[in-house]
Amino acid sequence: MDRLILHEDPRSGNCYKIKLTAAMLGLPLELRQYDIMKGDTRRPEFLQSVNANGRIPVLQVGHRFLPESNAACWFLAEGSFLIPEDPFDRADMLRWMFFEQYNREPNVATLRFWLHFVGEANLTEHQRGQIMAKRAGGEAALGLMEEKLAGEAWFVGETVTLADIALYAYTHVCEAGGFRLKDYPAICGWLKRVEALPRYVPMT
């Protein structure tokens, strides 16, 4: 495999997903760090050479650049135990990864970023006006995960897949966004199962 370089900010759960996937697969990953709070990923050199969308993470594979955290996890994990062999299960894994980016990330991760890193006092009026809707959206997403995990140990099939890794990243730190994990006992059990996996690494 080509040399793998992750362009990242260690505070980002989206970056952590890729590091956790690489760790579980024993793949070496070089890190290039950026400070999103200082606008490092909006500078012309980043936009031109790494990602025109101005976002991290970006997985660099040799001379090619792959933005979008879940696409990077897929690239690393193809052909491994983290992607199910059954075609329906494989699509169902992608289903939970799209859910993660559409329903979960913009609510749970954004509130964590706003409340924990930016600080409520520093939010714009427009951002402050969105807090209640994002709280409700985040609780709905966590509620749906709780319902799924009340009956099953993993999101897809009988074992861990990329769906669990993608959903774990921001869920295990959701209290920094004002969500209460004790309201979600099945999620708490699943977080412990993820953390007990061989080669698991914590977010630093």
Which spans of this chain sit near a second copy (rule: CB under 8 A)?
Answer: 52-53, 61, 64, 66-72, 74-75, 78, 87-88, 90-92, 94-95, 97-99, 101-103, 105-106, 126, 129-130, 133, 144, 147-148
- The nearer residue to a second copy, 31 or 91, going by C-beta atoms, is 91
Closest approach of a second copy to the CB of residue 69, in Å: 8
Q: Which CA distances in Å does 44 have to 36, 50, 57, 179?
A: 14, 10, 17, 36
Which is it for strands 58-61 and 64-67: parallel, antiparallel or unpaired?
Answer: antiparallel
Least distance to a second copy from the beta carbon of 195, Å? 26
CA 136 to chain centre: 20
To the nearest whole angstrom, how small is the minimum distance from the Cβ of residue 53 to a second copy? 6
Helix or strand (DSSP H, E) at 60 = strand 58-61
Q: Would you say 130 or 200 has its CB closer to a second copy?
A: 130
* Min dist. Cβ of residue 145 to a second copy (A): 10
Beta 4-8 vs 30-33: how paired, if at all? parallel
Instruction: Closer to a second copy by CB, 37 or 71: give it.
Output: 71
When computed from its CA atoms, the radius of gyration of the chain, rounded to whole angstroms, is 17
User: Residue 109 CB, nearest distance to a second copy (Å)?
Assistant: 11
How far, CA to CA in Å, does 52 sit from each of 14, 42, 61, 140, 200? 18, 9, 17, 32, 32
Whose Cβ is closer to a second copy: residue 75's or residue 200's? 75
Calculate the CA 133 to chain-centre distance.
Answer: 21
Of 95, 77, 68, which is closest to residue 156 (Cα–Cα)? 95
Tell me the closest approach of the beta carbon of residue 71 to a second copy, in angstroms. Answer: 4
Comparison of 127 and 153: residue with beta carbon closer to a second copy: 127
Residue 161 · residue 154 · CB < 8 Å: yes
* 146 or 200: CB nearest a second copy: 146
